[in-house]
Amino acid sequence: MTVSGRHIHFMIGSPPGSITYKYQLEVSQQPIRARMCGFGDKDRRTIDPPPIIKLVVTTTDGTPVPESSIDYSMMIVHAGLWSKDCKEERGLVVNPTSIFTKSANSNSTVMSMNAPLNTRNLMGHCTSSAYVLNNHVGQKGIYFIFQDLSVRTEGTFTLKFSFCNIKELMPHRSPDGLTNACGNVAAEVYSAPFRVYSAKKFPGMTESTELSKAFAKQGIKIPIRKEAYYKKVCNNKQPTAEVPKTETLEISSSDSDNIEYSDENEETRDYSNLQGYESKDIFVAKRLHTSK
Residue type present at position 1: M
Could you give the residue range(s) of every CATH 2.60.40.3960 domain in the chain? 2-95+114-236
Whole-number Cα distances in Å, 103 to 64, 190, 231? 64, 45, 51
Whole-number Cα distances in Å, 220 to 34, 75, 122, 128, 216? 21, 17, 22, 12, 5
Whole-angstrom distance, CA of residue 120 vs CA of residue 126: 11
CB 269 within 8 A of CB 261: no
Domain 2-95+114-236 architecture:
Sandwich (2.60)
**DSSP letter string over 2-68?**
EEETTEEE-BS---TTPPPEEEEEEEEE---EEE--TT-SSS----BSPPEEEEEEEETTS-B--GG
- Cis status of the peptide bond prior to 223, with omega within 30 of 0: no
Name the nearest CA neighbour of 194 among 82, 54, 38.
82
What's the angle, vertex CA 191, arms to CA 186 and CA 192, rounded to 5? 150
List, edge to edge, every strand of the sheet that includes 131-134: 21-29, 52-59, 140-145, 131-134
Rg (CA), the chain: 32
Whole-angstrom distance, CA of residue 157 vs CA of residue 84: 5
Whole-angstrom distance, CA of residue 53 vs CA of residue 30: 9
pLDDT in tens, the chain (292 residues): 443 344 333 333 445 556 788 999 999 999 999 999 888 767 788 999 999 999 999 998 889 999 999 999 999 999 999 999 999 999 998 877 655 555 555 555 555 555 567 889 999 999 999 999 999 999 999 999 999 999 999 999 999 999 999 887 766 555 665 555 556 789 999 999 999 999 999 999 999 999 999 999 999 999 888 754 444 455 555 544 444 444 444 444 444 444 444 444 444 445 444 444 444 444 443 444 444 4
Three-state secondary structure of 143-204: EEECCCEEECCCEEEEEEEEEEEHHHHCCEECCCCCEECECECCEEEECCCEEEECCCCCCC
Is the pTM above the cut of 0.85?
Answer: no
Whole-angstrom distance, CA of residue 162 vs CA of residue 171: 22
Name the nearest CA neighbour of 188 among 15, 23, 1, 20.
23
